[in-house]
Structure 1
Amino acid sequence: MIISSFQSQYGIRLSRELPAGMKWDEFRDLLIGLGPDTALGRVVAIRAEDRKEYLENFTLEQHRIRNEWQRKRAKYLAQTITKEQMNNTMNMFKTAFLSMDGLGSD
């Protein structure tokens, strides 16, 4: 997807540009600048969408792409976040909610 996206947006053939000496910073900047009309841009937009009115109109393929991404992301987070980190985060939320209700400790 990256190769086809660079080709469609910039007219750049990465197979020629990378060996010719494209610097990492230039590649990164071009990658970040890829628009929503490229293959990669469309997939990123599908993965990031969370507005109900848009999701209702997704095709089966768009739902598959989004659901697959969410499963992979959840699995990654479950493997990288420790129980202690999760407990600390939950305690921060608890403290914040109690504070908003005027029940926090002073």
Structure 2
Amino acid sequence: MAKHKIYTMSVASVYPHYVTKAEKKGRTKTEVDEIFRWLTGYSQEELEAQLEKQTDFETFFAEAPQLNASRTLIKGMICGVRVEDIEEPTMQEIRYLDKLIDELAKGKAMEKILRK
């Protein structure tokens, strides 16, 4: 079976859309970056390097320094699918990220988004 197209897309190609979505709702790029860092364990410098290298989503998550253990607390629907029910690990990580950005755009407090 062929890989899903999102796996081979660069994170950098989607990143501006995450930022735009957040900024349209009065949130900031800094908050988007905080979500990325919280989820993956990348430092700000490492995150920027991954974006600059045009790293694809599959590699981005495979090379993540420390996926946050609390990410399993992320529940709910994204693209009509419950994130907690997604069986393919890489797709689940991508959807966790999508869900966190959605929560940011919906005005949730960062403490709740980051499951503190």
TM range (shorter): under 0.3
TM-score normalised according to structure 1 size: 0.26
Q: Which of structures 1 and 2 has the larger relative contact order (alpha carbons within 8 angstroms, sep 6+)?
A: 2
TM-score normalised according to structure 2 size: 0.25
